Structures are given as structure tokens and as C-alpha cells.
Structure 1
Amino acid sequence: MTDLETAAHEPEPSETTGMVVTRQAGFYTVWLPSGQRILSVLRGKVRKGGPVVAGDRVRVRIGQDGRGVIEEVLPRTSHLIRPPVANVTRVVAVVAGPEPDLGWLDRLLVVAESQGLSCVVCLNKIDRTDPETVQSFRSLYQAVGYPVATTSARTGEGIGPLAALLVGHVSTLSGPSGVGKSSLLNVLCPEARLEVGDVSARSQRGRHTTRVVRLLELPDGGLLADTPGFSRLDLEGVEARELWRLMPDIRREAAHCRFKERCLHRGEEGCALPEAVEQGRVAPSRYRHYRRLLDEALQREARRYS
């Protein structure tokens, strides 16, 4: 058979769509609807369009050698810069006992809400936390309107209910160092076998060893990003007059405010929020954190327009 005849009988490259599940050193693993994973590189024109990240849906051409060339990145529904992952639909905001950092948590929830992401609130290390703190935490955030998981990665308590909240989603765990994100991910996705950094006895801060963002399959369905979480939680882009819309409990009570959308909801005359706090419809910690974030936004805007 001549070379021309051989070429005529070779299969043509096929084209399909898939999702990037790993990006490392210029190579991309694309997960196809068939379940197959294809090692791929970028077409030059795609490289010029900006970074391609885990979670991106792409159009990929598969060559005769079984490798792929990413021809196009399809439109994103969301894009997180830190961590670099696209098309996330659910953020698991993780804090840990015995003294959960609620200020950090409320800030993260606002950042996630500003990007249109649904949130699950998770209190980890409940094996080290007194039951009253666990119940108070659960009651607080359930009243706000968030699904709440209380877990112990060490004992496995609460892992099943948390996993159920992630089915059908592309999720990411986010939280400060030392709350047990890697340990949770190891329990949720046993095949991940993540290395968990040692915790300094002096600072009690975990040293997360994740360097490559991967999307891992959850046993019951869904994908979970192996990432170190949001490394920055600034509110750049969130206007002071829009902040109240990003906190569900504040938003509910603002509907009863005398000035409604014209009010900053920090206790002005006719504002409904102080009474809501006094009557227990908004937790004092939530209103305190709202006021703190509002002051930050106002200061940022003052600097911008000065």
C-alpha cells in the first residue's frame, strides 16, 4: 500500500467538547463526556486569549495519536482568579472550631455572592468544638439561609451530608489556613491522596501543599476543585450602596426600611436594621460584620474619588 493509500485509510482527527480538569506545565487534561481523559495542548490563537484554567469547557480536536488540541474556550458562567478555576457553581466556605472565624466567613460569603455563586457553610473540626458552639453556628447560618454542614475530617462525622450538598455541582473548598480543607477533600475524594502540610505548633497554621488546581470526581457525582481556596478576599468592585444586597438576612430586613434602596442600613433614622438586630431577626455578629465591610467599601470609594 502506498503512503497516499495509507493516509487515506487513517482516521480523521475528531472534534468534541470537554472540561479541563487539570492544568500543569503547559499541558491540559480534558475530561470528555465519555469519561475519557485526553492530554491536550492549546492552539496558538487560544493561548493569546488569556489563561485556560481548570473548569473551563473547551472544544478539543483529538489527533490520531490520541492527544488533543484545544481549539476554543467556551463561554464561562463564573471565573475565580484566586483560586484559578472556571464555571464553579458552589463554594464551600470552611471555618474550624473551637473558635470559628465568623468575620472571615461573612467576608467570603459576600465575595461569593458578588460573583453569583451559591454557598455551603461548613464548620470543621467539630470533634474539638463544644456542642453549644456547633449548634449556635448551625442555627446562625441556617437562619441566614445557607445550607450548613458540621464536620470532622478526622472522625468522618458529617461528611455524608456535606457530600450530598455537592452532588451535581462544580465546587471549591475555601477557608483560611489550618481549617482542614485538604483533610476534608481527602475524605470526600479518597483517591485524591493529597499531602496535608504540617501545622506549626507555634502558629497552628496549616501549610497547604497544593500547587496544581485539579477537578476531582466525587463518588456520588459532581466535581470538587483541589485548591488552596481564596487567597484574597478584597471587595473590589462591590459598591457600598450594593453591599446590603449580598447578605441575605440584611437584604430581607432592608425591605422594611423607610428609605429602602437609598439607605446604607447602618442605623440612619428610619432604618429597619437596628430594630431587626434588637428583635433577633439579624444576628449581632452579622450586622457588625456588615457595618465593618460597609466602612471598608466607603473608604475605598472615598480614595477613588478624592
Structure 2
Amino acid sequence: MPEGRIVKALSGFYYVQTTDDLFQCKGRGVFRKKNITPLVGDFVSFDIREEKEGYITEIKPRTNELIRPPIANITQAIIVSSAIMPEFSTTLLDRFLVLIEAKGITPIIFISKTDLLTKEQLDTLKNYQADYVSIGYHVELFSAKVPQDMDRIKGYLKDQVTVIAGQSGVGKSSFINTISPDALIKTADISKSLGRGKHTTRHVELIEVNDGLVADTPGFSALDFSEIEAEELMNCFPEIRELKEHCKFRGCLHAKEPKCAVKEAEENDIIPKYRYKHYISFLEEIQTRKPRY
């Protein structure tokens, strides 16, 4: 039985890419009965019924999945932040990082528009970069106007399945367009031929960019922590995750508990104070949300 990866979902059809061809498939009724929806990124088995058409018979186990956008088996999430216009925000960056860490996806931080900064602003940004690198994150500062920067950025996409997230005003589409102009032109042509207009269904698609696949849709359209419990939040901060074993009390939330290794590390400037402040802020947000029924 042939196998492949769903690279596009549109109007009840799933487009499955095999090693050498693309098949338009429908999902079996059994998926609806089990309340399972095939997702873009899924590895599947399918029956071929007619030339380049078939039915999906099996969805392979997923390594991860997102609800918004609905996509599975992502290997990395690139967070595109702006150095200026809009102003760089560690709070917003940390919200994205928590959401990505909670899904077990590798985050990479790209900070754009560095060519617009003064020397003092750039030095401040490099201090933030050093903080995040010390925590274990990859952080790239770049300008879309510098070809060498863009070549370096492209290298991160090779052999990966990437979803791109970022604050509004960064321009996710223009970012992809700068990396690979052919990708968006191709997507626009497909959309046109499918008659995708204002009132047709928005679809998720994986497009080929630099020998990798990139989700052609903004990642993480909701930035709330509705899927994260208070006890799980600490695991979304790598520097807190490392220290939690050294707290006196099991189940320490690193907020008001005595003899907390995380609080001690923050007081002694071992971990960035603003990261700890964001952790406490996010923890309070989770603890005060309305219960779900």
C-alpha cells in the first residue's frame, strides 16, 4: 500500500506527496466516526482508486500537532521577532517560546531589521541574544537587506518541517518571499487555479523551500495558555526545568515557596530576572483563568 505525507488540505481533500507523485485523497468514513481528522504533515497510507486519486486508510502516529494552524509532525518553529518597528519584546518572545516548548517542538529565534538600530540599540539586543543563547536557544540577528544574512537563515530550513510564528508587523509572508521568491509565486498560482477567493476555505499547505518544508500559514494565531497547566509551565522554561530538582519541596511552583532553587538563582543573577518575571506573570495568568467544562 502506498505511503506519503499530506502536504495540503482543502475542502475535504487531502493532497498526499509520495516520493515521486502527488495524489488527491479523501479520508475514510472511519476517521469521522472516531473523530480523527487527518492533518497537513501527517504520514499516511492510502488506496489508489483512480489515476492520482485515492482514499486515506491509515494515519501514522504523530510526534506533535498544533490546533492553530492545524498541522502535525513539525520539527521546528521559527519565531521571527522584530528588532524595531515593532519594538523588540522579550515578553512576547517568551509567550511564543512557552507555546512551542509545550508542544515539544524545537524553537529557533530570528530577530530582523537589525540594520535599523543604533549602536547602543544593537548592543542591548546582543545582550538579550547572549541571555537566550546561554539558556540553550539558537538566536540569529539579521537584516533582509544583507544577502549573507539571508543565506545563513536559509540553512536552517534544510531537511526540516518548519512553522513560522511571530508578532504582527514582522511579515511572515514577506519573510518567506525574501528567502524563496519562487515558493510564494508557486503558491499564488495554485491558489488562483483552485479559485481560492475571499469566500473560499482557507487552507494549510507545506511548501518546499531550500530542501525543507515550510507551513504556508502563520503559526500560533492564539497566544493564550489555555492548553498549559500551572505545573507544566516550569518545563517550558529550560533554565527553570534544570533547577527544579534542587528545590527543597517537591511540587514547588517557584513562586512563594521557601528554599526554592529557582528564586535563589534569580536573586543571584544566575538566570535572567526578566525571564523569571515572565514566568511568574504567566503562572498567575494560568492560575486565574476561568475553569473549562
Matched, 1:152 2:131: no
Q: Percent identity?
A: 37
Greater RCO (CA < 8 Å, at least 6 residues apart): 2
Q: Which residue of 2 aligns with 1:62?
A: 48
Q: Does residue 290 of structure 1 match 2:279?
A: yes
Q: Which residue of 1 aligns with 2:251?
A: 262
Q: In the alignment, which residue of structure 2 is the partner of 1:241?
A: 231
SS at match of 2:2: strand
Letter of the structure 2 residue corresponding to residue 37 of structure 1: L
SS at match of 1:107: helix
Structure 2 partner of 1:304: 291
Judge conservation of contact 2:22–2:52 (CA < 8 Å) in 1. no
Contact (CA 8 Å) 1:124, 1:180: kept in 2 or not? no
**What is the RMSD of the two structures over their aligned residues, measured on CA atoms?**
2.4
Deviation of residue 47 (structure 1)? Answer: 4.5
Structure 2 gaps, min length 5: 187-200
Q: Deviations over 1:29-48 (max 9, x none)?
A: 211023x2222233333354
Check whether the contact 1:153–1:183 (CA below 8 A) recurs between aligned residues.
Answer: no
**Cα deviation per residue 1:118-137 (whole Å; 9 max; x = unaligned)?**
11112122222342243123
**1:184-263 alignment, distance < 5 Å:** 184-193=175-184, 211-219=202-210, 221-259=211-249, 261-263=250-252
Residue in structure 1 matching 2:105, options 113, 117, 123: 117
Q: Distance in 1 between matches of 2:272 and 2:144?
A: 28
Structure with bigger gyration radius: 1
TM-score, structure 2 normalization? 0.83
- Distance across 2 between alignment mates of 1:132 and 1:123: 14
For 2:83, which of 97, 111, 119 is the aligned residue? Answer: 97
Conservation of the 8 A alpha-carbon contact between 1:92 and 1:171: yes
- Alignment size in residue pairs: 272
Give 4+ residue runs of structure 1 displaced > 6 Å after superposition.
none
Aligned to 2:131: 140
Q: Does 1:281 align with 2:270?
A: yes
The answer to whether the Cα contact below 8 Å between 1:189 and 1:217 also exists between their aligned partners in 2 is no
TM-score (structure 1 length as normaliser) = 0.80
- CA distance in 2: counterparts of 1:135 and 1:58, whole angstroms: 44
The one-letter code sitting in structure 2 at the alignment partner of 1:304 is P
CA distance in 2, matches of 1:138, 1:157: 19
**Does structure 1 conserve the Cα–Cα contact (< 8 Å) formed by 2:205 and 2:215?**
yes
Which of 72, 79, 85 aligns to 2:65? It is 79
Unaligned runs of 5+ in 1: 1-14, 196-209
Residue 30 to residue 154, structure 1, CA distance change in 2 (3 Å): farther
- Superposition map of 1:28-47 within 5 A: 28-34=14-20, 36-47=21-32
Note the C-alpha offset of 1:18: 0.5
